[in-house]
């Protein structure tokens, strides 16, 4: 049984880490981009961002004043038991979100869409989102918080098989260029692309591709992995850099996730996870151990399974 | 070539403003206030009295909601500060500039040169863009103190009018000059020359959308 108090305490620490500490994989990617950027203004912007990450950690203040819309991805093993059950778990995550909003502090971004009511704590109807995934074996729980920016860089389009890869590239470029102008997408970004599923799942896949995979990670399907690299290169060849200035850093990495879709369609979504790619992860065990990391490790073979049955490994070593 | 760096007052003289060139990097000293849709609506549509002497106290309007809190003892804790996209406020800005006398508008993404020429230039105002986006922690270091928070109860923390004392706060980039030229449009124009080549080997979507454009020099704002 995993202690509910430990879950809430860990979740509060994660909220703080996500807002303040740039994940190492993104930092390494941005340093590489900065090393080759030769646009005067773009280059200045990347250097300022690298300095900003250091200042955030030194001062323990949020990297960016817009701390996004905090959400939770929760993954559990098949044997996981949480003290108080799922209702207690959700209450703990909502409390952690509210406490950290006041504690760090984060910007209380979440308001009612019509009445603009602001609880000043990032909690409200449907906020924070809490999504779930499961893995065979294991008694742990993974708490993953992502604070993605909320306004620009995301789009969806219904493509068809006849649009093909050429159509995918067109919509990809359209999204990057239109939101990249004036830097609205806060690039260079991790670009997540969802292909297939239904409209809602296509959006979910693309968002998770952006937020739950690390820079350098490749899709397990080698042909998709190749397309990821091709799209990364394509995005960096536009001639646009940070803030929409002349430059060559648009995409720190491109990630594609697919889902089976209607036979007549090829749904596509594009998502940009910004210069403050805020994510933090912890695995909590029943014996009270907590392991912090920045790789959500969400897309396991099990998450991408294709067939009816899933063969459990002969020995579930934990 | 590194951009030029300049220190500027938040109540700048016309001469100081005339010096600024597109792409200059600016650091600010003095008082600034945050104002976005909530403040504009309340001041301009609901005709509420603006709780500051403008522009005597400050001629700098920051399109920003800080990551901040009001403590139980009434003091303020301000963490990071970052701008929000300004083009959404074009509806209120002409009247606001006239009424507030603001000379510096700070935000994300800038406005169009049409906006600059229509109501920035006649008011002697220019636009500064934040950098990144968001050098929130760097800008946070430039906050010497929070002098006041107005309309917090009416508008909430994110939309309230925060009055900030700045000490070498920055970096900001000069995105419009005193004649209304636009940095982002200049950059867009340069980038557009490459776009035809980059689109080679792609095809427009089979199913079109209403209002769709295939002119890649178009922008989403305005």
pLDDT tens figures, A161-180: 999 999 999 999 999 999 99
DSSP E strand stretches across B49-125:
60-62, 68-70, 76-78, 104-107
Give A294's Cβ-side CA count (13 Å radius).
Answer: 17
Is residue A294 a contact partner of residue A25, using CB atoms and an 8 Å limit? Answer: yes
* CA–CA gap between residue A288 and residue A307 (Å, rounded): 36
- Between CA B99 and CA A80 the distance in angstroms is 61
Give me the residue label for tokens 């933090």: A280
Complex ipTM value: 0.93
Percent of all residues in chain B with a pLDDT value above 70, rounded to a whole number = 100
- Determine the distance from the C-alpha atom of residue B166 to the mean position of all C-alpha atoms in its chain, rounded to a whole number: 16
Tokens 């920055």 label which residue?
A: B170
The beta-carbon neighbor of B132 closest among A171, A234, A275 is A275
User: Which CATH architecture group holds B5-183?
Assistant: Alpha-Beta Barrel (3.20)
Residue B34 in contact with partner chain A when CB distance is under 8 A: no
Q: What are B94-108's pLDDT values in tens digits?
A: 999 999 999 999 999
Q: Residue A161, Cα to own-chain centre: how many angstroms?
A: 28
Distance CA B130, CA B47 (A): 30
Rounded CA-CA distance B69/A120 in Å is 9
Angle, alpha carbons B189-B190-B195 (nearest 5°): 85
Residue A246 has pLDDT above 80, yes or no: yes
Distance (Å, rounded) from C-alpha A15 to C-alpha A7? 12
Please indicate whether, in this complex, the C-beta atoms of B2 and A40 are within 8 angstroms of each other: yes
| Complete DSSP assignment for A150-170 | -SSS-EEEEE-GGGHHHHHHH
Alpha-carbon distance A52 to nearest alpha carbon in chain B (angstroms): 5
pLDDT digits (tens, 9 = 90+) for B123-166: 999 999 999 988 999 999 999 999 999 999 999 888 999 999 99
Q: Which residues of B touch A106 (CB under 8 A)?
A: 67, 79
Q: How far apart are the first and last CA of chain A?
A: 16
**Closest residue in A to B80 (Cα–Cα):** A65
Q: What residue spans define the domains of chain B?
A: 5-183
Instruction: Report the SS3 class of residue A61.
Output: coil
Residue B1 pLDDT more than 80? no
HEC states along A111-136? ECCCCCCECCCCCECCECCEEEEEEC
CB < 8 Å from A in window 156-185 of B: 156-159, 171, 173, 184
Q: What's the pLDDT tens digit per position in B20-40? A: 999 999 999 999 999 999 999
> How far is residue A249's CA from residue A251's CA, in Å, rounded to a whole number?
6
- Return d(Cα A45, Cα A49) in angstroms, integer: 6
Lookup: tokens for A1: 């049984």
- The Cα–Cα gap between B40 and B60 comes to 14
The CA distances from residue A31 to A55, B82, B201, in Å, are 16, 22, 31
Q: What percent of chain A has pLDDT over 70?
A: 98
Which residues are registered as beta bridge partners of A291?
Answer: A283
Q: Please state whether the peptide bond connecting residue A188 to the residue before it is cis, i.e. omega within 30 degrees of 0.
A: yes
pLDDT digits (tens, 9 = 90+) for A221-242: 999 999 999 999 999 999 999 9
């Amino acid at each position: 049984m995993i202690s509910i108090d430990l879950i809430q305490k860990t979740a509060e620490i994660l909220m703080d880490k996500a807002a303040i500490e740039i994940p190492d994989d993104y930092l390494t990617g941005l340093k590489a981009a900065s090393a080759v950027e030769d646009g005067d203004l773009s280059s200045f912007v990347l250097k300022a961002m690298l300095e900003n990450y250091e200042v955030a950690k030194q001062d323990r203040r949020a990297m960016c004043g817009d701390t996004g819309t905090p959400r939770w991805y929760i993954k559990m093993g098949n044997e996981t038991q949480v003290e108080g059950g799922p209702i207690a778990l959700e209450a703990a995550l909502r409390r952690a979100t509210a406490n950290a909003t006041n504690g760090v502090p984060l910007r209380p971004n979440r308001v009612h869409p019509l009445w603009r009511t602001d609880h000043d704590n990032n909690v409200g109807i449907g906020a924070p989102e809490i999504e779930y995934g499961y893995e065979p074996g294991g008694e742990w729980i993974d708490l993953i918080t992502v604070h993605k920016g909320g306004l620009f860089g995301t789009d969806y389009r219904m493509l068809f098989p006849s649009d093909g890869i050429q159509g995918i590239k067109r919509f990809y470029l359209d999204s990057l260029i239109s939101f990249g102008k004036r830097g609205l997408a806060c690039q260079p970004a991790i670009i997540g692309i969802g292909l297939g599923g239904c409209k809602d799942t296509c959006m979910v896949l693309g968002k998770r591709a952006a937020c739950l995979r690390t820079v350098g990670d490749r899709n397990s399907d080698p042909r998709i992995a190749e397309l990821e690299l091709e799209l990364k290169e394509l995005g960096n060849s536009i001639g646009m850099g940070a803030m929409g200035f002349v430059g060559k850093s648009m995409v720190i990495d491109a990630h594609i996730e697919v889902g089976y879709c209607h036979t007549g369609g090829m749904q596509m979504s594009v998502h940009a996870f910004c210069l403050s790619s805020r994510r933090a992860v912890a695995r909590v065990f029943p014996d009270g151990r907590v392991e912090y990391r920045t790789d959500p490790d969400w897309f396991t073979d099990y998450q991408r399974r294709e067939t009816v049955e899933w063969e459990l490994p002969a020995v579930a070593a934990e | 070539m590194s951009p030029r760096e300049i220190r500027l007052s938040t109540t700048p003289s016309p001469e100081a403003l005339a010096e600024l060139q597109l792409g200059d990097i600016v650091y600010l000293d003095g008082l600034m206030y945050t104002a976005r849709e909530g403040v504009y609506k309340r001041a301009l549509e609901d005709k509420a009295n603006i709780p500051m002497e403008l522009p005597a106290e400050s001629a700098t309007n920051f399109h920003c909601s800080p990551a901040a809190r009001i403590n139980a003892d009434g003091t303020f804790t301000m963490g990071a500060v970052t701008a929000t996209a300004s083009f959404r406020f074009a509806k209120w800005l002409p009247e606001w500039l006239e009424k507030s006398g603001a000379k510096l508008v700070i935000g994300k993404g800038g406005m169009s040169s049409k906006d600059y020429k229509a109501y920035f230039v006649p008011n002697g105002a220019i636009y500064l863009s934040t950098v990144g986006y968001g050098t929130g922690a760097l800008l946070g270091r430039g906050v010497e103190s929070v002098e006041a928070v107005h309309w917090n109860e009416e508008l909430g923390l994110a939309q309230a009018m925060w009055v900030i004392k700045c000490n070498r706060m920055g970096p900001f980039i000069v995105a419009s000059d005193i004649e209304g030229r636009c940095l982002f449009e200049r950059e867009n124009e340069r980038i557009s020359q490459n776009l035809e080549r980059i689109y080679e080997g792609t095809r427009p979507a089979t199913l079109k959308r209403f209002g769709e454009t295939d002119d890649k020099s178009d922008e989403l704002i305005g």
